[in-house]
Structure 1
Amino acid sequence: MKSLNRSKINSFSHFIPKKKMKLHLNQRKTYEETKEIIKRLQTQNYRRPTSLIMNMIQPLLWLLLFGALFQNAPIYLFEQYTIQYREFLNPGIIVFTGFNSAINAGLPLIFDREFGFLNRILISPISNKNSLIYSCIIHTWLIATTQIIIMILVTTYHTNSHINFNINQLIISILISTIIISNIAAVSIWNALILPGHIEFIALTTLLINLPTLFASTALAPLSFMPIWLQMICCINPLTYAIEIIRNQNFNQSISMSTEIINTTWLTINTYQGISILILINIMSIILVKNIIRYKYD
C-alpha cells in the first residue's frame, strides 16, 4: 500500500516546482504606484483649488497683520539684531507656511476613508501600501515648497530691508522646511488613519495643533521674551529649531554647524544638534505611521 502511494507521488512529481519562488518588492512598481496616487491628488487639487488658496492666504495674513501691529517697535528690541519686526517675523512665517500645508496632508486620506475610495485602493493590486504615505508626503512637499518660494519672494519685496536675498537663503529655507513638512505630514497621516472622521481631524489640527504649535515657538517672539515654562515648551517644539536655523542664516548671511541657535540659562543648542533633533523626530514619525498602516491594513 505504501509503495502504491509512493508511486502516485512520483507520478505527480513533475508538477512540484523545483525552485522555491521568493516574492520581492518591486521598487519600480512602488514608484509607479506612488506616481499614480500623486496624479490623483493633483487632480483633486486642480478641481478644488480653494484649499490651496486658503493655505496661502493665512500665512500672508499673519505676515501683514503682525508686521503692521509691531511696525513701530524699537529697532533694538530683538536681542543683538538691529532689525525691524517684519524681518524677525519672516523666517517664522516661512516655516509656518510649510507647517500649515503639511498639517492637512492627511485630509484627502480621511475623505477617501469616509467615501470608500481607500478600500478600493487597498483591494487593488497594490504591491506596497506605503505608497499611500509616500504619495501624500511628496504631494504635500510639492505644494508647500511652491508656497514657501512665493512667500520668500513676497517677504523680500515687502520688507525692502538691508538683508539681501541670495540663493543660499532659498536652499537652506527649502531644506529645513522639507524636514518639517515630512515630519508634520507623517503626523497628519497618522491622525487620518486613527481618527474616526474628518470632523475630529479638523478639530484636532485646527484647535489643538495648529495655533498652539505656532505660539509655542519662536515664530512670533524670541525666547528671551518668554517665561521659563514657555521656553521649555518651545524647546520641545521642532518648529523652533527650524525657525532659528533659517533666522540665523538670514541675519548672518552664513551659518556653520557650531553656531548657537538656542542659548538660554538652562539649554544651549547649536545648528548641528538642531538638525539632528529634526531628523531624528522625522524618522520616528515616518516609522510610526508605517507601523500604523501595516497594523490596520495588512
Structure 2
Amino acid sequence: MRVFTTMVYRELKRFSHSRARVIGSIINPLIWLIFFGKGWAGVFDNPMAAPIFGGVDYMTYLVPGIVAMTIFNMSFMQGITIIWDKQFGFLKEILVAPASRTEAILGRITGGAIMALIQGVIILALSFALADLNLSGVLPALGMGFIVGIAIAGMGVAIALRMTSMEGFQMVIMMIMLPMTFLSGAFYPIKTMPEWMQWLARINPLTYAVDGSRYYLAGVAPTFAITTDWLVLTALAAILAGIAAIEFRKATIE
C-alpha cells in the first residue's frame, strides 16, 4: 500500500500548496449560496412555497445540494492533474516505475476525493450560519460525499487519460458538469422537471448524492429510498474507479 498512500499524500500536499486553488474552490460555492441562494430565498419566502421544497425554507433546501455540487466539481477537476503530469513528465515516471499502476491511480483518485471532501466540509461548516441544518446528519452526508467523490474523480481521470490538451479537457468537463449539476435536483426538485428531464436525472450520479445529503442535513423526504442512494453511489464508485484503473494500466509512455 506504499504506492497508494504516497499518491494520496502527494495529491493533498499539492492542493494545500496551491493557495489560489484553495481560495477559489471555497469562494465559488459561497457565491452560489449567497447571491443565488439568498436571492431566490426571498422569492420563495412564503408558506405556499414550503411544500415544494419538502417543508423547509429554500436556503435549507439549497445548502445540501451546494455541498454535494462542491465535492462533485472538485473531484471532476482531478483529471486536470493527470494532464498536467503528462505535460511535465511525472506521469511517465509513474508508468516506468516498478510499482503497481492500479495502486498509483487509485491513490490519486482517493486523494482527489479527500481533497474535494475537505472543501465540502468547509462549505458545510460555513453554511450552518445560513440555514437550519441537522448536526446529526453531517457524518452520513459526508460519507456519501466521499463516495461520490471517488466516483467522479474516477470519471475525470478516465477521461483525462485519453486526452492530451488541458483546454480540450476543460471543454469536455464543462459540457458534462453543467447538465449533471442542473439535473441533480440541487437547485429545484426533480419532480418539477419535465418528464424527459426526470429520466435523465435518474441516470445522473450527482442526483443520488444530493438526494441523500438533503435527507440527512435538511430532513427532507428523499426522492428515492435512502438505501438506493447508497447502493447506486457505491456501485458507480467501484465501476468508475475500476474503469480509470483499466485505462491507466493500458496507458503508454508516449
Please confirm whether the aligned pair reaches a TM-score higher than 0.5, indicating the same fold.
yes
Find the aligned partners of 1:296 and 1:153 in 2 and give their Cα distance.
40
Among candidates 254, 266, 270, match of residue 225 of structure 2: 270
Is residue 237 from structure 1 mapped to residue 204 from structure 2 by the alignment?
yes
Matched position secondary structure for 1:209: helix
Find the aligned partners of 1:44 and 1:224 in 2 and give their Cα distance.
41
1:134 aligned partner: 106
Cα distance change, pair 235–64 in 1 and its aligned pair in 2 (3 A): same
1:212 aligned partner: 179
Cα distance change, pair 75–82 in 1 and its aligned pair in 2 (3 A): farther
Cα distance change, pair 280–67 in 1 and its aligned pair in 2 (3 A): same
Deviations 1:128-178 (A, max 9, x none): 01122222122212222221221111111122x3x4x42x31111111111
Point out which structure has higher relative CO (alpha carbons under 8 A, 6+ apart): 2
Q: What amino acid sits opposite 2:23 in the alignment?
A: I
Matched position secondary structure for 1:70: helix
Any conservation in 2 of the 1:76–1:82 contact (CA below 8 Å)?
A: no
1:145 aligned partner: 117
Matched position secondary structure for 1:71: helix
Paired residue total:
250
2:30 aligned partner: 60
Find the aligned partners of 2:37 and 2:13 in 1 and give their Cα distance.
35
2:222 aligned partner: 261
Find the aligned partners of 2:61 and 2:88 in 1 and give their Cα distance.
44
Any conservation in 1 of the 2:78–2:109 contact (CA below 8 Å)?
A: yes
Q: Which is helix-richer, 1 or 2?
A: 2
What TM-score, normalized to structure 2?
Answer: 0.90
1:248 aligned partner: 215
Find the aligned partners of 1:108 and 1:150 in 2 and give their Cα distance.
22
What TM-score, normalized to structure 1?
Answer: 0.78
2:4 aligned partner: 34
Deviations 1:210-231 (A, max 9, x none): 2221111100000232111111
Find the aligned partners of 1:246 and 1:46 in 2 and give their Cα distance.
26
1:92 aligned partner: 65
Deviations 1:242-294 (A, max 9, x none): 111121223339xxxxxx622xxxxxx31122221222222211221122112
Deviations 1:96-122 (A, max 9, x none): 111011011121111111222211222
Find the aligned partners of 2:184 and 2:48 in 1 and give their Cα distance.
21
Matched position secondary structure for 1:158: coil
2:89 aligned partner: 116
Any conservation in 2 of the 1:105–1:137 contact (CA below 8 Å)?
A: yes
User: Equivalences for 1:177-216 in 2 at 5 Å?
Assistant: 177-205=145-173, 207-216=174-183
Deviation at 1:183, TM superposition (A): 0.3
2:243 aligned partner: 288
Find runs of 4+ consecutive structure 1 residues off by over 6 angstroms: none
2:127 aligned partner: 155
2:20 aligned partner: 50
Q: 5+ residue gaps in structure 2?
A: none
RMSD: 2.0
Matched position secondary structure for 1:140: helix
Question: How many percent identity over aligned positions?
Answer: 24
Find the aligned partners of 1:227 and 1:133 in 2 and give their Cα distance.
39
Any conservation in 2 of the 1:182–1:282 contact (CA below 8 Å)?
A: yes
Cα distance change, pair 228–35 in 1 and its aligned pair in 2 (3 A): same
Decide which structure has the larger Cα Rg and report it: 1
Deviation at 1:296, TM superposition (A): 2.3
